Every structure is written in C-alpha cells, then in structure tokens.
Structure 1
Amino acid sequence: MRQELLSDYERDAANAALPIYTVKENEIDSCDAPEELISLAQFNGFNGEAGGVYADGKAVLLGVGDGSDPFISAAAAEKLPKGTYVFATSAGADEANLIALGWLLGTYRFDRYKQQKPASACLVAPENADIGGVRRAAGAITMVRDLVNTPASDMGPSAMEHTARNLAANEGAQIEVITGEELLAQNFPMVHAVGRASVDAPRLIDLRWGDENAPRLTLVGKGVTFDSGGLNIKGGAGMSLMKKDMGGSAHVLALAGMIMAAKLNVRLRVLVPAVENAIAGNAFRPSDVLQSRKGLTVEIGNTDAEGRLILADALAYGAEEQPDLMISMATLTGAARVAVGPELAPFYCDDDALVSALEEAAVKNADPVWRMPLWRNYEAMLSSSIADVNHISGGGFAGSITAALFLKKFAVDADRWMHFDIYAWRPKAAPGRPTGGEAQAIRALFDVLSKRYPAA
C-alpha cells in the first residue's frame, strides 16, 4: 500500500501539512477554521453537506453532514489534490482509528481491468491512531474487495488455491490442498458432489499457522467461485452477482491475514472448500441423497442451496479437532438480505459472552453485526422421509435460520461456533465504500480475537 498515511515518526517531515476542519451541515459559522476560509466557502455555496470538500490552498473544510458517517474522512482522500494533510482537531483512540481507516478506504481502487485515477493525497495520521492496526485492517478490506470483485474467469477454485498459497507463503503458514477425486478418497463427498461438474476441479484448502500448543481457532469460508444454481439454474438477474459467492472464503483468508500479521496466540486453521457450482452431465441433482463427512445422509432439495453442503463437510472436518472457537462465514442465503439488508452482518452463536464481546467490538469499530436466533423448533423444517436431513426447508419461512441450523449439525463438536450469513457486496456507494465487493464483520471479529488470544 502506498504511503497515504504518515505515521508518528514521519510527522517532523509533515510540518507543512494543510489542516482539515470538519463542518456539520448548516453549522459552518461555529467551525474553528480561519474566518477567511469560512467566508470563501459560504460564498461558494459550501454548507457542510456530507462528503463536501472546500479548500483554499491553506486549509480544508470537510463536510460531515449530521456526523453519522464514521468514515467520512474518505471523501477528503478521494477528492483532495496531491499534498499532505492533517485533521486540525484531536480525537480519542477509537475515533482516530476510524479517521485514519476512512482515509485509506478512500484510496481504494479496483484497477485490475480498467485504469483508475489513483488517490494522491497523504494524511498525517491522528496522534492517537494505531497505525499498524489501521494498515492491517485496510489491507484486509482491500483483499476482500479485490477477491470478490474479480470475475470467476480469473477467480475459480484453482485461483482461490493460488491466493491461499500466497498468503501462507507470506506469513509462514503450512498449507495442504485436497483436489478432485481425492476428495472422495479422503471423505469429503459433498464438496466433491457440488464441484464435480466444473472443469476447474473442486478442492479443500487447509491452512495452518501458529504454536501447536496454543488455543485452537478454526475459520471456515464458503468458496463457491461461481454459482449458476446448478440444475436448479438461476435466472439471469439472480446469476449476475454470483462471482461474489466466494465472499465467505475471501473474508476468512483476510481475517487470517490479520491474525497472522498481529501474531495472535492461536493455533490457526483456515478451511476453504472451493468449488464452482456448474452444470454438466455429472452435476448433482435435486432429490439426490448425498453422504457427508459427518456420516449424516443429506437429501438435496435444491441444487441452488449448495453452499451449506460444502460448508458442512468442512465444518465437520474442523470440528474433529474440537477447536476452542470455530467461525464460519458465507454468502449463504437471500433470506438474510431480506431480514437485515446489505449493510448488517447477521450472525448466529449460542455463547452469550462471545456475542456480547462481538456486539461491543462492532460498535467500537463501526463494523455492524446483528444476532440471529438458532431457533430449535425450526429444525423440523429440515426433515426428510428418505435421509437423515434435507438441506433446505422447502418453504418460505426462516431461510437463514434453517440454513444455520443445518450447519450446526456438522459444527456440533467444536467447543463454540459462530456463523455469519454475509452479503459481501455494497449496492450503493458511500465515501470510501464504492459499489462492489465489501468486507463485513472481520474488523469486529479481529478486535474480539485479539482480546481473547492476545499476542505474547
């Protein structure tokens, strides 16, 4: 990442930085900026609207609207010309981190296929900001966005493996990958079934890092690199965003990168079942009964509910080590989007203390989450007359909950389990958050994990 953020030791070289003054909408008269700047801004129609920027070469006014956007600093990074800037007012540690992170988010460009004008402004980080932590978070968000934004032609199962191998090499982790027919030999029948129709073979990516005697933390991410719906094929509109169906794997790899860079005291394991849900003569079918690693037989109600099948085998594998904590992340159900929309990350967890810690971290880090219920009465919706369980409920009720209840059957041996049914996409742009792939909940999760498993 370029030096858009200057750290403490570089401050002496940034004495000439232009100050940035924040202005709430219609409250410019109470701003601490120089009177001349305020007068010129008013004359030119600036009134503090969110994301508005006015500069005179000596100082800058940044409109923050009603002050509710914690990342409004991104608007300045996006709009200001080349130069060095500093926020004129002091901030507490949490606010300083969000200001610095917002600035870095404002410099993000997805330019793999189309040249983009790069951001050129540089910020002297607020005094209380954790520079290393902010850069880790920005790097993780960039990783998620880049992976999700990349089309399936360049981000199939083999490309996902390449990404994981690069991460392992950079952080000194070990990695093993089980591919194609070997999945059957090593008892991952549902991963194989979902991905076998693709020319890019299905695989299970298994990354390990850290002291073998440290508490075990296992991350499991859904890696459906493209979801056609299988034989229950999606319509064109439903298929148009399915390059993002590997968003869960992007999230756990990025979170793993943060954990390893911060050297948290964990025995980390990352499991990514990477498949393309394609259509061919050997595709799995509605009404098939699949064997699972857990030993449960699973009736297929709809081939477009494939993500929970590959996660089930991976969760069962991860739970065999009885980790202290297992976290799964997946772009799993449209029902979750109907329930909470695209910005909230709904999650499931039975551990109240862990839930409280996450909810507190979500507020602190402006990384919103929402707890959903693992309502046991709905397990009956997953009943099957010919198999141990059907993987869908077959009705319109509680789709995200029944998906989580299905997964819980395979995660049960872990000491504690947390599942996220994320969207991984921003449909409407905001400062520092362009339309496209988006990271959800990983900053809040890292905050919780860094307290639970602090670095030595």
Structure 2
Amino acid sequence: MTSARPAPSFAAADATSKPLHILKPEGLADFLASSPHAGWLRAAGFEAGLGELVLLPGEDGIAGAVAGLGTEKARRRTRFGLARAFAALPEGDWHLEGPLSPAEADEAALAALLFAYRFDRYRPGKAAKAPARIKAPIGVDAARIAAMAAGEMLTRDLINTPAQDMGPAELEAAARSLAAAHGARIEVTTGEALLTQNLPMIHAVGRASPRAPRLIDLHWGNTGPRLTLVGKGVCFDTGGLDIKPSAGMLLMKKDMGGAATVLGLAQMIMTLNLPLQLRVLIPAVENVISGNALMPKDILTSRKGLTVEVNNTDAEGRLVLADALTLASEGGCDVLISMATLTGAARVAVGPDLAPYYTDDESMAQAVEAGAKAGFDPIWRMPFHEAYDPVIEPGIADLDNSPSFGFAGSITAALFLRRFADHPRYMHFDIYGHCPADAPARPKGGAGQGARALLGALPAILEL
C-alpha cells in the first residue's frame, strides 16, 4: 500500500515570515504609489496577472514578494492560480498581505497546501526543492482546509499508485490504515465468501484474478444521521473478455478512483469529527482475463434478485456497485452516495474537469452545488432521464449492463445503478479521477472530484 505522507499543514502562526503581497490589477496603482519597490516592480513588468510573482530585494536578501491575483475572468478560468506564485517562492515561511474576500482567502489557503503535493514514491533519489510554507490567511478555518487537503492527497496517492502495488488487498490495507487512524471499525468479505454472503456480482467480476475480490465495509461514529458512501474499487480494468485496446488500458490503474475518493472524503469527515454515522462500502476487484472470466451474454443474478445480462464485460463497474448499493440500502441510512469512474460518456459530455452527478432530491442538489462553489470543486448535474429506462431492459433478463442504444451512456449507467440504490435520497457521481495535464495545485495524475463539494453539502443534507 502507499506509505503515509505527513499531514499537510500551514506555517506556524508564530513563525518569522516574509510578506507576500497579493494584488489585483485594479489595486496595483495604489500599491505602487506607496511602495518603496515601485521602480523595481515597474522594471520587472509586474502587472498583477494571476500567479505572477516578483521577489522584493532587501538589505539582507529577499524582503518579501508580490503576487498577482489576476482579473475576475482569469480567476474563473483557472482555479488555484495563486499556486503558480507559491510554487516559485523560495523556501521559508511566508504570510499573505492584501485584501482578500473570504472566498479568495479560502482558495488561497487550499492552494497553499495543495501546491506542495508530489507523488515521488518511485523516484526516491530525486530531491525536490523544499516548498515554501505559507501561513493560513486570517479568518480562514485552517483545520477544515488542512483536512480537505489531506483527504485530497490520500485520494491522489491511491489513484497514482500503479496496479502492481494497488490491488484489492492493498486497497483493503489502505482502508484498514485509515480506519485504525480514526478508531473506525472495518470488516472485509473476500473471495468465495462473497458468494456465501450473497454478493454474487462482485464475485463474478473479480473471480478471474488471482488477487481475490472483496467487499470492504468501514463504519465510524455511533450517533447522528447516517451517511453511506459507496466507491467503485476496480483496481485494474483490462475490459475482461471484451478486452480494451492497449491505449484504453493506459489509465486503468485509476479505475478505483471512486474508492479513492470516498476514502479521501471519509478521512475529511473523521478528521473534522463531524457528528454523523459513516459507512463506507468498497467493492474491490480486478477485471482481468482467465479461464473462468465473466463471459459476454452471461446472465447474473444480483444480490437484489434482479437478473443482469452481461452484454459487455468492460461495463463491470456498475455490476460490482449494484451489489454494494443493495447492501447499503438494506443496512439503512439517511443519505446514500456512490462515486465511480464509470463511463467514458461522462467525459465526452463534460470533459475531465467537471464531475457529473445525479440525484432526484432537489435539496441535495442545491446543497452540493453550494458545497462545490465553496470548495472550488466543479460539478454538473445530469438527469435520471426516465425515458431511457427501457434501454437498459434487454428482455431476456431484467437489466442490460451495456445497452446497444449508443447514446447517453452516463445517464443509462446511472439509471442502472438507481435500480439497486432503492433510496429516496441517493446521489451518484460519475467522476474521471485524473488531471490530464499539469495545472496549478493539480499536477498531472490522480485527482479527487466531488469530495469537497460533498463535504460542504453535508451540514445541509444531513441537518448537522
């Protein structure tokens, strides 16, 4: 499993630090009028563009720095743009000066922790420049921001770890480590026991792998409303007998991104000691090929009793989620949420930066939209469009895991899952879990999506 990284933290409140002046273009003239470094900044061509940085000279070296916050349009186009300036700062302690709105201060604080993320497990000999340490801006809930950053880093580490070191057993170990750190309880059903415990579709998808499939079941908290998170944990997806082309497998180590994201969100919840009862269910499998692999046109009987015709073995994520969602519904909860790297159709619809989500509950939708804005975690609501329900009904069985409809793949997958969630307050996220290119505070690689939006939504959704 991944080794635990130190928890991200801000520079100590009492540490000696240098000022980092944050400036917007419209405030630059006033700053220059009163600054002894006006000539220096003009010579450097500083215009307060988003993430622009100029170091200020002093008698003993560097006296401070100025960083640009950019225009409102620039900030809308690039989240965490200040991270570019933070990354260019010399090592040492810094504090932010300048007028920031509460939202700008929160974004700057989160950027101040996330910009330092590096996944260097496989490059131990490559020394990275020690990052600058930045104090939390005044008025920011530093503990909450640090918890969000730590949860995001856990998610990134899990997704970035290649399948050779992140199979079902290693994903279980990561969940056990998280449970131990927060006093949570955990139970795991493995291999043939999945059949005796009536989790047949999890077993069917994972049985071809020598790394046994399993269901991870974590519980935390004894009082308060009940929240259940279900995360897709397909640790690698070859596509099964409907094998993917080689190019289609290159990112399949991230097919457990839903599991990684719910574990990151669980860490945030437990670290902040939110007054709720949390359950996390992760069906952890590998979808590989062997003599006993799931075959096209097989018909599976799910935990719920619904039969499913397997028209594509590469549409396996919804199969393992279905049994887990049924179990979650049987166990009772106030809110049920699933997260999965489920469909390429979602990426075609909204691209890699937006996390599509589905719910029939208007109050949940309103809460998560507000949480997304506050957490700088963009999402987009998609419909449970019931006119497409007949598409997932093949006739020979109750349901089809991969309809030949050819359209609306994310919607039909969500409708499939809803058949098993059986809960009025259900929400499903069809995430990508990957940043395709380096961006401020978001390096290329694994990425959490939707977790901060949900964290911000929980007080309203659960009436905490």
1:112 aligned residue: 121
Secondary structure, counterpart of 2:216 in structure 1: strand
| 1:183 alignment partner, one of 154, 174, 194 | 194
2:151 aligned residue: 140
Q: How far apart are 1:410 and its partner, in Å?
A: 0.3
Q: Does 1:437 align with 2:437?
A: no
State the number of aligned residues.
448
Cα distance in 1 for residues equivalent to 2:49 and 2:103: 24
Q: How far apart are 1:36 and its partner, in Å?
A: 4.1
Cα distance in 2 for residues equivalent to 1:375 and 1:452: 23
Cα distance in 2 for residues equivalent to 1:242 and 1:33: 55
Amino acid at match of 2:161: T
Cα distance in 1 for residues equivalent to 2:462 and 2:274: 6
1:320 aligned residue: 330
2:419 aligned residue: 409
Contact 1:264/1:454 (<8 A) preserved: no
2:54 aligned residue: 54
Superposition pairs of residues 8-19 of structure 1, within 5 angstroms: 10-11=13-14, 13-14=15-16, 17-19=17-19
Secondary structure, counterpart of 1:50 in structure 2: coil
Q: Does 1:150 align with 2:165?
A: no
2:59 aligned residue: none
| 2:369 alignment partner, one of 351, 359, 364 | 359
Amino acid at match of 1:320: E
Cα distance in 2 for residues equivalent to 1:308 and 1:361: 26
1:262 aligned residue: 272
Contact 2:235/2:284 (<8 A) preserved: yes
Q: How far apart are 1:91 and its partner, in Å?
A: 3.1
| 2:429 alignment partner, one of 420, 424, 428 | 420
**Residue by residue, what CA displacement relative to the aligned partner does 1:128-153 show, whole Å, maximum 9, x if unpaired?**
01110011000001001111111000
Secondary structure, counterpart of 1:177 in structure 2: strand
Q: How far apart are 1:453 and its partner, in Å?
A: 4.3
Secondary structure, counterpart of 1:59 in structure 2: strand
Secondary structure, counterpart of 1:318 in structure 2: helix
Q: How far apart are 1:49 and its partner, in Å?
A: 3.4
1:64 aligned residue: 69
Cα distance in 1 for residues equivalent to 2:415 and 2:107: 35
1:233 aligned residue: 243
Contact 1:329/1:421 (<8 A) preserved: yes
Q: How far apart are 1:73 and its partner, in Å?
A: 2.7
Secondary structure, counterpart of 1:326 in structure 2: strand
Secondary structure, counterpart of 1:265 in structure 2: coil
Amino acid at match of 1:275: V
Contact 2:219/2:280 (<8 A) preserved: yes
Superposition pairs of residues 16-415 of structure 1, within 5 angstroms: 17-24=17-24, 28-31=28-31, 35-56=35-56, 57-67=62-72, 68=75, 69-114=78-123, 115-211=126-222, 213-412=223-422, 414-415=423-424
Amino acid at match of 1:307: G
Q: How far apart are 1:4 and its partner, in Å?
A: 5.2
Q: Provide TM-score, normalisation by structure 1.
A: 0.94
Cα distance in 1 for residues equivalent to 2:33 and 2:384: 52
**Residue by residue, what CA displacement relative to the aligned partner does 1:54-94 show, whole Å, maximum 9, x if unpaired?**
10211212133334144223223311111221111143433
Amino acid at match of 2:257: G
Residues 236 and 65 of structure 1, relative CA distance in 2, 3 Å threshold:
farther
Residues 33 and 255 of structure 1, relative CA distance in 2, 3 Å threshold:
farther
Residues 61 and 249 of structure 1, relative CA distance in 2, 3 Å threshold:
same
Q: How far apart are 1:42 and its partner, in Å?
A: 3.0
Cα distance in 1 for residues equivalent to 2:336 and 2:398: 24
Q: How far apart are 1:35 and its partner, in Å?
A: 3.5
**Residue by residue, what CA displacement relative to the aligned partner does 1:287-310 show, whole Å, maximum 9, x if unpaired?**
110110010010001011100000
Secondary structure, counterpart of 2:296 in structure 1: coil
Cα distance in 1 for residues equivalent to 2:262 and 2:380: 19
Q: How far apart are 1:34 and its partner, in Å?
A: 5.6
Amino acid at match of 2:253: K
Cα distance in 1 for residues equivalent to 2:321 and 2:8: 39
Cα distance in 2 for residues equivalent to 1:53 and 1:389: 56
Q: How far apart are 1:362 and its partner, in Å?
A: 1.1
Q: Provide TM-score, normalisation by structure 2.
A: 0.92
Gaps in structure 2 of 5+ consecutive residues? 1-5, 57-61
**Residue by residue, what CA displacement relative to the aligned partner does 1:374-397 show, whole Å, maximum 9, x if unpaired?**
000101111212111111221321
Contact 2:392/2:403 (<8 A) preserved: yes
**Residue by residue, what CA displacement relative to the aligned partner does 1:23-53 show, whole Å, maximum 9, x if unpaired?**
4469744545864434223323433333221
Amino acid at match of 1:429: D
Amino acid at match of 1:430: A
Amino acid at match of 2:215: L
Q: How far apart are 1:203 and its partner, in Å?
A: 0.3
Secondary structure, counterpart of 2:215 in structure 1: strand
Q: How far apart are 1:22 and its partner, in Å?
A: 2.6
Secondary structure, counterpart of 1:60 in structure 2: strand
Q: How far apart are 1:108 and its partner, in Å?
A: 0.7
Residues 416 and 33 of structure 1, relative CA distance in 2, 3 Å threshold:
farther
Contact 1:3/1:122 (<8 A) preserved: no
Contact 1:27/1:47 (<8 A) preserved: no
Contact 1:29/1:38 (<8 A) preserved: no
Amino acid at match of 2:63: K
Cα distance in 2 for residues equivalent to 1:145 and 1:121: 21
Identical aligned residues as a percent: 50
Q: How far apart are 1:18 and its partner, in Å?
A: 1.9
Contact 1:77/1:103 (<8 A) preserved: yes
The RMSD of aligned alpha carbons is 1.8
Q: How far apart are 1:19 and its partner, in Å?
A: 1.7
